[in-house]
C-alpha cells in the first residue's frame, strides 16, 4: 500500500511517499519539500530512493499557490525519470498532519465534511497551522480524488490528560466559552515514541510508563502512564513549557505587560518576540543547538548560560513528571537534539542520580542512529535514545484507518 504523507504549512508542502505493503517493513519511495509558495520564486527539493540509491533534484520555480505546489508534487512523483509511480491512482491513501482539533477527536480520522469543519473551527487556536493544513487537504482531495484522505492531529494523543492537567487556574468561562486549555502538541511523535519504547523494553504498551523528551526545533515533554498521556509541557499553543530554539517556554505572564510598557511593543509584536526571538536565540544569539554547544566548548559565556537554562528546564519537568507517572520505566530522548546531542543528554542527566537516573557516559557519547539504552548497567530507571519518525506514524495510522474503513467518530 502506497501512502502519501503531507504536512502543509503557510508557504510550504512537505511530503513523503511510503510503501507500507509489508506490515513489518516500510520503505520511503520519495520525499521532498516545496518552499516559498506564493513568493516570486519557489524552491523544490525532491528526493527519490530507488534500488538503495538516493537521487536528489532541486529546482526554482514560481508557485503561486498550494494548488500549483501540489500539482508539482504529483508531476514529480509520476515523472518518467524522477518519479516512482506511474500515476496518482497508485497512491492508496493520503495522511495529513493537522495541528489542532481541540476536544473533537481523540484519534486519527477519515476526512469528511465534519472533520473539515472542526479544523476550520479551530483556526483561532491554530492560526498559523490549521488554515494551511486544511488547504493541503482540500488541494489533495482534487489531485487524489480516488484516495481516502486521513487527518492525523498533533493534539489527539494528549486528549487522555485529566482535567487537573489540562485546565488552567483561570476563570472557568475561559474554558467553557472560549475553549482555553492545555492541548499539547508533538502528539504524533510522543505516541510513536511510546510504542517504540514499549517494543524496545519488551513490555505491552498498556503497561509502559515513560517520560518522552522531544527536543527538536520545538521542544516538549510528555508524561506517559500505562501507554497514555497524562501531562505534557506545551499548552494552548506550542509556546509553553521547555526552552526551545526561538521560543521562551514558561514565563510569568505579567512580564509581558511590563516589557510592552517599557518598549512600546503591542501584543502581536510581543508574541512574535516570544515565539521567534526568544529561547536559545534570545539568550545567546543562535538557535541551532550544534552551534550553541560549539560556542560553549570555546568558552562563550552566553552560550554556556543558554545551555544551562535549556537543560535545567528539562530537569525540572523530569522531577515533576516522575511524581505523576509513578513506576517509571524510562526517560526517552528523541528528535534532532535529543537523538544527536550527547552533551545535552549528559547535562540533563547530570546530578539526577538521586532520582534513579544514572547515565553511562561512554554509551551516551557513542554515535548511533538506532534505538539504544545509555544508562549504567543495573540502574533503576532506563535512559533511552529512540529516533522519532512522525511521517511513519502518520502513514501507519492512515493505513490502519483505511483498512478499518472507519467513519470518523466525534467524542463528547
154 is catalytic: yes
Q: How far is CA 23 from CA 20, 52, 304, 397, 400, in A?
A: 6, 20, 46, 12, 10
Min dist CB 339 to ligand AMP, Å, is 8
Contact flag: residue 12 with ligand AMP (CB under 6 A): no
**For residue 109, which phi and psi values (nearest 5 degrees)?**
-135, 155
Indicate which residue of 87, 112, 154, 351 is catalytic: 154
Contact flag: residue 337 with ligand AMP (CB under 6 A): yes
Cα–Cα distance, 402 to 150 (Å, whole number):
8
Grid coordinates in use for 71? 500539482
Contact flag: residue 220 with ligand AMP (CB under 6 A): no
**Parallel, antiparallel or unpaired: strands 210-215 and 330-334:** parallel
151-190: which residues touch ligand AMP (CB under 6 A)? none
Type and span of the H or E element at 259: helix 254-263
Q: How far is CA 211 from CA 235, 321, 335, in A?
A: 17, 7, 14
Contact flag: residue 307 with ligand AMP (CB under 6 A): no
Among 5, 13, 48, 289, binds ligand AMP (CB under 6 A): 289
Among 42, 184, 216, 238, binds ligand AMP (CB under 6 A): 216
The alpha carbons of the chain give a radius of gyration, in whole angstroms, of 22
Residue whose CB is less far from ligand AMP, 74 or 383: 383
Q: List CB contacts of 366: < 8 A, sequence separation 6 or more.
A: none
**Closest residue to ligand AMP, based on beta-carbon distance:** 336
Residue whose CB is less far from ligand AMP, 230 or 386: 386
Interface segment toward ligand AMP; rule CB under 6 A; list 15-23, 77-85, 96-104, 331-339: 331-339
236-275: which residues touch ligand AMP (CB under 6 A)? 245
Cα–Cα distance, 133 to 13 (Å, whole number):
9
Contact flag: residue 288 with ligand AMP (CB under 6 A): yes
Q: Active-site positions?
A: 154
Q: Which residues bind ligand AMP (CB under 6 A)?
A: 216-217, 245, 288-290, 335-337, 340-341
Amino acid at each position: 500500500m502506497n501512502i502519501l504523507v503531507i504536512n502543509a504549512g503557510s508557504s510550504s508542502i512537505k511530503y513523503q511517499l511510503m510503501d507500507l505493503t509489508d506490515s513489518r517493513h516500510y520503505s520511503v519511495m520519495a520525499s521532498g519539500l516545496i518552499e516559498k509558495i506564493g513568493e516570486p520564486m519557489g524552491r523544490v527539493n525532491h528526493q527519490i530512493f530507488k534500488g538503495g540509491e538516493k537521487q536528489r533534484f532541486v529546482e526554482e520555480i514560481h508557485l503561486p499557490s498550494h494548488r500549483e505546489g501540489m500539482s508539482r508534487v504529483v508531476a514529480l512523483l509520476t515523472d518518467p525519470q524522477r518519479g516512482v509511480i506511474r500515476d496518482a491512482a497508485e497512491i492508496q491513501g493520503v495522511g495529513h498532519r493537522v495541528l489542532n482539533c481541540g476536544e473533537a477527536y481523540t484519534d486519527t480520522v477519515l476526512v469528511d465534511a465534519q472533520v473539515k469543519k472542526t479544523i476550520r473551527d479551530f483556526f483561532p487556536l491554530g492560526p498559523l497551522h490549521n488554515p494551511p493544513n486544511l488547504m493541503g487537504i482540500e488541494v489533495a482531495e482534487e489531485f487524489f480524488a480516488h484516495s481516502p484522505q486521513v487527518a492525523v492531529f498533533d493534539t489527539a494523543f494528549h486528549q487522555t490528560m485529566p482535567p487537573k492537567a489540562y485546565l488552567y487556574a483561570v476563570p472557568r468561562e475561559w474554558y467553557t466559552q472560549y475553549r482555553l486549555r492545555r492541548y499539547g502538541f508533538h502528539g504524533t511523535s510522543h505516541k510513536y515514541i511510546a510504542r517504540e519504547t514499549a517494543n524496545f523494553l519488551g513490555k505491552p504498551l498498556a503497561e509502559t510508563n515513560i517520560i518522552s523528551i522531544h527536543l527538536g526545533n520545538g521542544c516538549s515533554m510528555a508524561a506517559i502512564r500505562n501507554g497514555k498521556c497524562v501531562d505534557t509541557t506545551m499548552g494552548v499553543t506550542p509556546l509553553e513549557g521547555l526552552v526551545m530554539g526561538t521560543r521562551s517556554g514558561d514565563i510569568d505572564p505579567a512580564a509581558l505587560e511590563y516589557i510592552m510598557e517599557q518598549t512600546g511593543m503591542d501584543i502581536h509584536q510581543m508574541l512574535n518576540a516570544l515565539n521567534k526571538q526568544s529561547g536559545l536565540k534570545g539568550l545567546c544569539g543562535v538557535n541551532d543547538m550544534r552551534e550553541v554547544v560549539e560556542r560553549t566548548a570555546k568558552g562563550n559565556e552566553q552560550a554556556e548560560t543558554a545551555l544551562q537554562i535549556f537543560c535545567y528546564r528539562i530537569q525540572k519537568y523530569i522531577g515533576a513528571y516522575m511524581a505523576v507517572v509513578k513506576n517509571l520505566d524510562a526517560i526517552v530522548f528523541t528528535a534532532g537534539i535529543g537523538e544527536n546531542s550527547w552533551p545535552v543528554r549528559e547535562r540533563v542527566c547530570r546530578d539526577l542520580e538521586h532520582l534513579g537516573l544514572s547515565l553511562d557516559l561512554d554509551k551516551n557519547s557513542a554515535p548511533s542512529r538506532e534505538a539504544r539504552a545509555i544508562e549504567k548497567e543495573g540502574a533503576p530507571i532506563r535512559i533511552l535514545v529512540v529516533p522519532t519518525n512522525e511521517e511513519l506514524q502518520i502513514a501507519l495510522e492512515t493505513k490502519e484507518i483505511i483498512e478499518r474503513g472507519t467513519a470518523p467518530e466525534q467524542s463528547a
